[in-house]
Amino acid sequence: MPSLNTIFYGPPGTGKTYLTSRRAVQLIENLSDHELEEQYPSEARDELKAQFNQYQQQGRVALLTFHPSFAYEDFVEGIKPFKNERNELYYDVEDGIFKQLCFNAAYALYHAQQQRALEASSNDRKKNTEVNSPRTTTRPFDALFFEFVDYLKRMMREGPEEITFETKQGKAILLTDINQNNTLSFHSAKSSKSYSVTKQSLSKLYKAFSSPDSIRNLSEDIGKVVGRGNTSVMWAAFHRLKEFESTRYQTYNYLLNNRRLSGKPVSAVQYAQMKRAIQQLDYRTLSPTDYAQAGNFVLIIDEINRGNPASIFGELISLIEEDKRAGKSEALQTVLPYTREPFQVPPNLYIIGTMNTADRSVDVLDMAFKRRFAFHSVPPNPSLLRPAVSVSLSDVGDSTETEHVAQAAEPGAPYLTPKIHLDQLCATINERLLWLKGEEYQLGHGYLMPVLSAENPLVALRTAVYQSIVPLLEDYFMDDWEKRVLVLGPDFVEELPVPASIPETMKTDFQNPFQPHKRYRWRMLNDREFVVAIQRIYATS
Cβ neighbours of 76 (radius 10 Å): 24
Domain boundaries, the chain: 5-95+296-377, 135-249, 382-539
- Measured CA to CA, the distance from residue 261 to residue 254 in angstroms comes to 5
Q: What is the pLDDT of residue 330?
A: 93
Q: What is the pLDDT along the chain (541 residues), one digit of tens a residue?
A: 789 999 999 999 999 999 999 999 999 999 999 999 999 988 888 899 999 998 988 889 999 999 989 999 999 999 999 887 788 898 888 899 999 899 889 988 988 887 787 776 556 555 555 444 443 333 468 778 887 888 888 778 766 577 889 888 888 889 999 998 889 999 887 777 889 999 999 999 998 888 888 888 888 888 889 887 789 999 999 999 988 887 654 433 333 333 433 334 455 656 676 777 788 788 999 999 999 988 999 999 999 988 889 899 999 999 999 999 999 989 999 999 999 999 999 999 999 999 998 876 445 678 888 899 999 999 999 999 989 888 876 544 444 444 433 443 344 434 445 789 999 999 999 999 999 999 889 999 999 999 999 999 999 999 999 999 999 999 999 889 999 999 999 999 998 887 777 666 555 555 566 666 788 899 999 988 899 899 999 986 5
Q: For residue 314, give the nearest of 78, 79, 104 by alpha carbon.
A: 78
**CA–CA gap between residue 142 and residue 139 (Å, rounded):** 5
Q: What is the pLDDT of residue 247?
A: 66
pLDDT at residue 110, rounded to an integer: 87
This prediction has a pTM of: 0.71
Helices (H), 78-217: 97-130, 140-158, 199-208
pLDDT of residue 141: 81
Dist. CA 281–CA 89, nearest whole Å: 36
Confirm if 172 and 189 have CB atoms less than 8 A apart.
Answer: yes
Residue in 213, 216, 219 with CA at minimum distance from that of residue 232? 219
Which is it for the CA torsion 404, 406, 409, 413, positive or negative?
A: negative
The residues near 301 (Cβ < 8 Å, ≥ 6 apart) are: 64, 65, 66, 351, 352, 353, 354
> 231: helix, coil or strand?
helix
Beta 254-255 vs 194-197: how paired, if at all? unpaired
CB count in 10 Å sphere of residue 473: 24
Contacts of 303 (CB under 8 A, 6+ apart): 65, 66, 67, 354, 355, 356, 359
The CATH code that applies to domain 5-95+296-377 is 3.40.50
Q: What is the pLDDT of residue 382?
A: 95
3-state secondary structure of 321: coil
CA dist 165 → 189, 233, 267, 446 (Å): 10, 9, 13, 57
One DSSP character per residue, 246-303 reads HHHHS---EETTTTEETTEEPPHHHHHHHHHHHHT--GGG--HHHHHHH--EEEEEET
Q: What is the pLDDT of residue 126?
A: 55
